[in-house]
Homo-oligomer: A and B are copies of this chain.
Amino acid sequence: MRLSKLFTKTLKNAPSDQESLNGKLLTRAGFIHQETSGVYSFLPLGLLVLNKIENIIREEMNAIGGQEILMSALAPTEYWEKTGRLSAMSTLFKATGANKESTLNNDKDYVLSPTHEETITPLVQKYIFSYKDLPILPYQIQFKFRNEARARGGLLRGREFRMKDLYSFHADASGFESFYQEAATAYAKVFKRLSLHDLTYYTYAAGGDYTKRHTHEFQTLMENGEDTIYICQKCQSPHGAGLAYNKEIITDSSQFKCLECGGSDFLVEKASEVGNIFPLETRFSEAFGFFFTDKDGTQKHPIMGCYGIGPSRVMGVLAEVFSDAKGLKWPKAVAPFDVHLVDLTKDGSGQAVYDELTSRHISVLWDEREAVSAGVKFTDADLIGIPTQIILSERSKEQGGVEVRTRGEEGSKIIKAEDLPTINNTFV
């Protein structure tokens, strides 16, 4: 991709309505555009990152038997009445005809889904009748809508945001428990691939409206995190860098003991939730009168779980965690391009480097802008944050090649033109 053609451009300053670090950085670097408070569009660079995050999640959900579907955002209000959440959910949006004529067309109201238990449960109910049909693990990657009171966290708390939500349906508790652990392991793999593993704690949290049991969150250490977690100094977790407790479940911190080791040695940290898994028990299958016939011929409610990761929120967390004063520093797995080619030549010699790299299936953002200084090019490259920067200049040409450096690290290395074909083994 030629940077001169890329929509859009970097901005010298973030708009004044961006208060959060991720909102400022991602807006300045041209990844996202705020339409109105808490509502963002993804620009080309941002969509590339979002797609990479979503594909990592998709692969790990498929690996544990998840089947991808795509549910509608509009949901019948009747379903939300059945579960009691039409009036109980404080952030619910509804969709209605905007003016007299569109109301005359169709005066039905819809819920603009903030989550999809009310859609998936009656859907699965139509197809699943026997224990032989269970478990079933549908998931989707879709927009969600929530009328949040405060939506100033950039991508961390949006009124419209991306969500991967998997729902599991089981014939018995042991089937549910074993899948719940499998899902937690898959989540740990996702966060490992996103380079977040060492910062992310498997965290006991409150069940809220869903369940009286604990739920589990994946909490990433972050200076501007909305949550506070108590990290057990003794316990390990197979699902993260360690085991923690969300402050919300701790009534008296001086008395609180780790539920696993009984210890009381905690490190208290700010963190941001990047995923969660919930035991739903039979909360929703009961509400919809959803029964299956078990082995012994009795009618039972399927036991459900739900498993969420917000890809847009994860993008916000990555921007907060992997950045410095100069800008973003994307992990390789989600960088919008493999290489940022800073082309300082005027004789068109960048084309050969670009062609050589792309012929090796290395994706390249090529800064071939003519009327732009070297300083601006370096500043933009650091702001956009692609991990591998390749600089082609008169100086590097004199040395017979290009200069390669890693965003955020000191030093660089000259690679001879004839060694370019091996660059993807060495750097990218």
Residues of A within 8 A of B (CB): 5-9, 33, 35-37, 39-44, 47, 50, 65, 67-76, 86-87, 89-99, 101-106, 108, 110-112, 119, 123-124, 126-127, 136, 138, 143, 145, 147-149, 151, 159-160
Contact = CB atoms under 8 A, between A and B. Distances in A.
B127 A7 contact: yes
The A interface is mostly helix, strand or loop, or mixed, namely mixed
B97 A95 contact: no
Contacts of A98: 86, 89, 92-94, 111, 147
Given A73-B143, A149-B106, A68 B90 contact: no
Given A7-B69, A106-B147, A112-B95, A74 B159 contact: yes
A34 to B, nearest CB: 9
Given A6-B67, A36-B110, A39-B74, A93 B91 contact: no
Given A44-B68, A50-B70, A7 B136 contact: yes
A47 B68 contact: yes
Given A90-B105, A145-B74, A126 B44 contact: no
B143 A143 contact: yes
B41 A119 contact: yes
Nearest to A123: B33
Contacts of A90: 99, 101-102, 105
A41 B149 CA distance: 29
B67 A7 contact: yes
A73 B73 contact: yes
6 nearest A-B residue pairs (beta carbon): A92-B98, A94-B98, A105-B149, A8-B127, A42-B70, A41-B71
Contact of A75 (B9, B35, B112, B148): B35
A343 to B, nearest CB: 18
B35 A72 contact: yes
A92 B99 contact: yes
